Amino acid sequence: MTLPTKPLAGVKVLELGTLIAGPFAARICAEFGADVIKVESPDGGDPLRKWRKLYEGTSLWWFVQARNKQSLTLNLKKPEAIEIVKKLVAQTDIVIENFRPGVLEKLGLSWDVLSAINPGLVMVRLSGFGQTGPYKDQPGFGAVGESMGGLRYVTGFPDRPPVRTGISIGDSIAALWAVIGALMALRHREVNGGKGQVVDVALYEAVFAMMESLIPEFDMMGFIRERTGNIMPGITPSSIHTTQDGKHIQIGANGDAIFKRFMQAIGRHDLADDPALTDNAGRDQRRDELYQVIDSWVAGQNEAQAMALLNRAEVPASRVYSVEDMFHDPQYLAREMIQHATLPDGKSFKMPGIVPKLSDTPGSTEWLGPELGAHTESILTSLDIAPELIEALKTKGVI
């Protein structure tokens, strides 16, 4: 018997979603071998196709976000399209959707309807606020989830308004929860009689789940965590420092042995041997003094000098990488984190490698995000829909 080469080979996913949260979850499944059909409106498809930088009219993000997926156009406002979705659901393991709660119900594709067609179905539902509760009907973007979930409040400097992290982190974290939930539900189905269930992921809760000790600290001590810039009060020293040549490096010397090595390496034996600084609590009490010492040492080095010394002393540290740095970095290259592919017109294309790395059944890129509706005919044919009927569906604007 030949073993499948990818861990999710044979798992069928139907994606009813747009932009980031749902599609990123389905992308992870597709990278690891699931058979992913993405339903898109015939009228332009997923708006992500036009987000950020375009190459010959298509978003470069799209090529990555939809890799290994099949594109099926369906106008879900047409009853024929709903019938096609139902046929697909009959043979689907996981539906991933990120419409506003109630949208699928209005279309006649509620959980009750879909689970009656396929009792083993796992339905992953991503939304701003969840499928229940007073806010459930509100639309929600990742930025809103990051604000409500607590991330924005603690991100930035204390004397400035909250800032964005630089990427749509709320959507992407929600996608990870979605995949975790889907895999847990599949496992449960396998060992408990084949019954599926709903995985309800709210953007704000996806972020909230990352908020460390926020809740018990407030509950027990009335402590409200505030913005602290690059430092982590209570965990010292760990921060970003500016070099003589104007670069930024992150140094994490917040370990007892690491701190000692660092101070020895920069010639501060007085601090390395100070009994009051042997543990985190002691260091944190003298936080301002230590940051001044490190700031001024880094300010006297250029980036390469500082990094060489930090590496020699085995102090966890990194330059703050731009994308350009990634392209030349030996660690990125050794672990194939920058992959090469070819765009439809033959142009060379670099994209992120696949995370995580599985030793025996790794993920891979089979093809880049497809053209709108590239797989419509083959999928409909596989559902035994005759060619004349497919033509008729086209004429009626269903596909």
Ligand X SMILES: CC(C)(COP(=O)(O)OP(=O)(O)OC[C@H]1O[C@@H](n2cnc3c(N)ncnc32)[C@H](O)[C@@H]1OP(=O)(O)O)[C@@H](O)C(=O)NCCC(=O)NCCSC(=O)C(=O)O
Q: Is 329 a catalytic site residue? A: no
- Say if CB 398 and CB 80 are below 8 A apart: yes
Closest approach of ligand X to the CB of residue 71, in Å: 11
* 237 contact partners, CB below 8 Å, separation of at least 6: 231, 251, 253, 254, 259, 283, 287, 290, 291, 294
Q: Does 398 bind ligand X (CB under 6 A)?
A: no
User: Up-side HSE of residue 145: CA atoms within 13 Å toward CB?
Assistant: 29
- Say if CB 121 and CB 88 are below 8 A apart: no
Closest to ligand X by CB, 99 vs 262, is 99
15, 34, 128, 263: which one contacts ligand X (CB under 6 A)?
Answer: 128
Type of residue numbered 380: L
Q: Does 332 bind ligand X (CB under 6 A)?
A: no
- x-marked contacts with ligand X along 69-108 as a string, rule CB under 6 A: -----xxxx--------------------xxx--x--xx-
Closest to ligand X by CB, 46 vs 284, is 46
Q: Does 140 bind ligand X (CB under 6 A)?
A: yes
- x-marked contacts with ligand X along 24-43 as a string, rule CB under 6 A: ---------------x-x--
Q: With the CA atoms of 189, 170, 102 and 197 taken in that order, what torsion angle do they form, in degrees rounded to the nearest 10? A: 10
Closest to ligand X by CB, 80 vs 329, is 80
* 244 contact partners, CB below 8 Å, separation of at least 6: 299, 300, 301, 302
Instruction: Please tell me whether residue 97 adopts helix, strand or coil conformation.
Output: strand
Distance from C-alpha of 29 to C-alpha of 7, rounded to nearest angstrom: 9
- Say if CB 173 and CB 244 are below 8 A apart: no
390 exposure class (CB count in 10 Å sphere: 0-12, 13-18, 19+) = middle
Out of 46, 171, 200, 284, the active site residue is 171
- Say if CB 247 and CB 319 are below 8 A apart: yes
Closest to ligand X by CB, 76 vs 263, is 76
Closest approach of ligand X to the CB of residue 175, in Å: 9
Distance from C-alpha of 72 to C-alpha of 84, rounded to nearest angstrom: 11
Q: Does 168 bind ligand X (CB under 6 A)?
A: yes
Q: How many residues bind ligand X (CB under 6 A)?
A: 26
Distance from C-alpha of 8 to C-alpha of 108, rounded to nearest angstrom: 29
Region binding ligand X by CB under 6 A among candidate stretches 124-132, 180-188, 302-310, 324-332: 124-132
- Distances 324 to 168, 247, 304 between C-alpha atoms, Å: 20, 14, 16
Closest approach of ligand X to the CB of residue 143, in Å: 5
46, 93, 171, 284: which one contacts ligand X (CB under 6 A)?
Answer: 171
Closest approach of ligand X to the CB of residue 28, in Å: 15
Q: Does 198 bind ligand X (CB under 6 A)?
A: no
7, 12, 19, 375: which one contacts ligand X (CB under 6 A)?
Answer: 19
**DSSP states of 54-92:** EETTEEHHHHHHTTTEEEEE--TTSHHHHHHHHHHHHT-
Region binding ligand X by CB under 6 A among candidate stretches 18-26, 265-273, 342-350, 377-385: 18-26
Among positions 201-260, residues that touch ligand X (CB under 6 A) are: 203
Region binding ligand X by CB under 6 A among candidate stretches 126-134, 218-226, 276-284, 345-353: 126-134
What is the contact surface with ligand X in residues (CB under 6 A)?
19-21, 39, 41, 74-77, 98-100, 103, 106-107, 126-128, 139-143, 168, 171, 203
As annotated, the active-site residues are 171
